[in-house]
A and B are shown apart, each in its own frame.
Chain A
Amino acid sequence: MSILVDEKTRVVVQGITGNEGLFHTKQMKEYGTKVVAGVTPGKGGQKIEGIPVFNSVMEAVKETGANGSAIFVPPAFAADAIMEAADSGVSVVVCLTEGIPTLDMVMVRKFLKEKGTKLVGPNTPGIISPGKCKIGVMAGYIHRQGTVGIMSRSGTLTYEVVDQLTKKGIGQSTCVGIGGDQIIGLNYVDLLELFEKDPDTEALIMIGEIGGTAEEEAAQFIEKHVKKPVVAFIAGLTAPPGRRMGHAGAIISGGKGTAGEKMEALEKAGVRVVRNPAIVGSELSALLKRA
């Protein structure tokens, strides 16, 4: 098993006719993802890479049974695209777009609460259940099917950790990029709950970074509800306060949201926190051997 996406996931790509959308549609198909539809308003009726294009998500869902979505839509229109997918009954929406205004996401989150749709991102590399389904822009081949669940606010840092695991022969059940923005969809707590229930996930890796309190909330949840071993790395121990470190959400403001605070909270919750990002894989491997 895995969480959120698997071989049964049927994907509609919103913004399929754009450069990014088209490139990654090909990549996702190549990986084995069932891309069943595309949406670009005004371009309905076309076929692209053998995939039917529709004017609306509603139509795409009706015609193809799509239940997952990948959003490659420019920032100004992305919030609308997420809401459209949710309104059309898509159960997992992955928004790759970076640069959506924060207040748009505030509205999106309220909207989603009434729809029951699960949102991954925005500003995420996506989600992958190795060997089954990839909705995102990560290089599929660095992954390997297995039993480690990964949650991260970052892209390439996740690849780094996945690579460390795969090279040790340790596979992954599902890797989720939760997104680098201030307001995002699924957070660590939501994923911890799913991973804890997933019988095929044995251990977890959490990659956090400065800004906000999502890691602290995860620590509280882990203490109470998670029995599976967790290894964590928090990026930004050397980041200066008050500066936005690339991601919109990665900022220490008013002295809050430091890596140190997050590490402390996680350690208190029994999480194995590593300070050297190069040894996440070996720490997890050691934990698995002990178990």
Chain B
Amino acid sequence: MKIHEYQAKEILRGYGIPVPKGRAAETPEETRKVAEEIGGKPIVVKAQIHAGGRGKGGGVRVVSSPEEAEKAAKEILGMTLVTHQTGPGGRVVRKILVEEGVEIKEELYLGVVIDRSRECPVIMASREGGVEIEKVAAESPEKIVKEWVEPYVGLRPFQANKVGYGLGFEPAQVGKLRNVMTGLYKIFCEKDCLLAEINPLVLTGGGDFIALDAKINFDDNGLFRHKEIATLRDLNEEAPLEIEASKYNLNYIKLDGNVGCMVNGAGLAMATMDIIKVFGAEPANFLDVGGGATVEMVKNGFKILMADPAVKVVFINIFGGILRCDTLARGVTEAVEEVKVNVPIVVRLEGTNVEEGRRILRESGLNFTVASGMQEGAQKVVEALNKVRG
């Protein structure tokens, strides 16, 4: 789960990590009020969306009075911000973060993630801050200092010092950096994060560190023990069909093509997208109704598929194991009868009771193209697509 910058900064503040004075606002008037509270200049007004590259997209302004802040807020609030991370559709800005400007002497990167190969958290730090760390890793990996943390022991002070000296700082700065690092690592562990990142971490003229931007991604699997974190979810940042799908415990991800896919199991769902592409078409979505899908899940999944106007053909690819194909076939026919369907449907069923399942589909009187095998299914999808296109 992702959260906004202003929410991440609140969490940092709670762990003693210095962040600029300020808070979130939803209206130009409120923006002005916050700017007045801050009481200095410059003031920075930042669009809050779950994507990076906001500055380049015009979502960040530096102003010198509460009046100017109000004016900037008027322009930013409600705008559709397009960045390299939002996709061409962009995101509508509903909140802004208003905060004091900070004097920047140097920009650093500081992050904590899980190293999957070493199976433990790793601290990553670099003096090449303010740019994406992936870029630094690709172009000049020697500029990143890494420190792996033994989870039972936690981040030891000597390790944080190692990072600080590794970056080439003097003892006074190393001590301050250690406090930031210790706080960030604590957040990572105590809140079940997958990523906790301060970028840039700014070194001020006065020799202090302050978190200018922050990004925290939480482990969805850990949310059950962090109710306070779960409430930070912003549904405005998610695609409506994806929210709808998550209500039914379905995994749906919208893509750019026009072949709607419904599959049981994540691996098979990805493989289905891939085979569609092998035969020259493009998947409209990823939809996993679960390795052990029920009739109800199939029905709900189908409704979500049909709500996407881009879908021109539907490909249902189910491998029934414990779940029987006849049960599934009933689910699909019920769903098709219930939802108004005006696109061709190719169904590929395999597994337990497959003959019975195929018979149900054939005898339903509905317009299914039944395929045996994934490959035949994908071929029939492409044929159907060509017919639709005329």
The yes or no answer to A227 lying at the interface (CB within 8 A) is no
Residues 103-123 of chain A: 1 if any B CB is under 8 Å from the residue's CB, otherwise 0? 111110110000000000000
Let me know if A238 and B273 touch, CB within 8 A.
yes
- Residue among A125, A245, A247 making CB contact with B253, cutoff 8 Å: A245
Which residues of A230-251 are within 8 A (CB) of B? 233, 235-240, 242-243, 245-250
- Which stretch from A32-40, A62-70, A276-284 is at the chain B interface? A276-284
> Number of B interface residues, CB 8 Å?
59
- Answer whether residue B232 sits at the interface, using C-beta atoms and an 8 A cutoff: no
Please determine whether A245 and B352 come into contact, CB atoms closer than 8 angstroms.
no
A154 contact from B219, B268, B373, Cβ within 8 A: B268
Q: Which of A50-58, A82-90, A135-143, A190-198 contacts B (4 or more CB under 8 A)?
A: A135-143
With the chains together, A105 CA to B194 CA distance in Å? 13
Report how far A212 CA is from B288 CA in the complex, Å.
21
**In the complex, what residue of chain A is closest to B271 when comparing beta carbons?**
A277
Q: Does any Cβ of A come within 8 Å of B265's Cβ? A: yes
Chain B residues 104-148 with CB under 8 Å of chain A are 114, 116-117, 119-121, 132-134, 137-138
Whether B389 sits at the interface, judged by CB under 8 Å, is: no
What residue in chain A is nearest B376 (Cβ atoms)? A278
Q: Which stretch, A5-13, A158-166, A168-176, A264-272, touches the partner chain B?
A: A158-166
CB of B332, distance to nearest CB on chain A (Å): 16
A138 pairs with B321, CB closer than 8 A? yes
**Contact A154–B265 (Cβ < 8 Å):** yes
Asked if A103 and B267 make an inter-chain contact with CB atoms under 8 angstroms apart, the answer reads: no
- A245 and B269 contact, Cβ closer than 8 Å, known pairs A107-B151, A254-B133, A254-B137: yes
CA distance A279 to B275 in the complex (A): 11
Q: Please give the residue numbers on chain A whose beta carbons come within 8 Å of chain B beta carbons, in ascending order.
A: 27, 75-76, 99-107, 109-110, 125, 137-139, 141-142, 152-160, 163, 180, 182-183, 207, 209-210, 212-214, 217, 233, 235-240, 242-243, 245-250, 254-256, 259, 275-279
Query: Can you list 29 A-B contacts with CB-CB less than 8 angstroms, sorted by A residue number?
Result: A102-B114, A102-B192, A102-B194, A102-B222, A103-B189, A104-B222, A110-B120, A110-B151, A137-B291, A139-B320, A160-B271, A160-B319, A163-B351, A180-B267, A207-B267, A210-B270, A213-B116, A243-B286, A245-B286, A246-B267, A246-B269, A246-B288, A248-B219, A254-B132, A254-B137, A256-B134, A276-B275, A276-B375, A278-B275
Give the interface of B toward A (CB within 8 A).
85, 114, 116-117, 119-121, 132-134, 137-138, 150-152, 189, 192, 194, 219-222, 224-225, 251, 253, 255, 263-271, 273-278, 282-283, 286, 288, 291-292, 319-322, 350-352, 373-375, 378
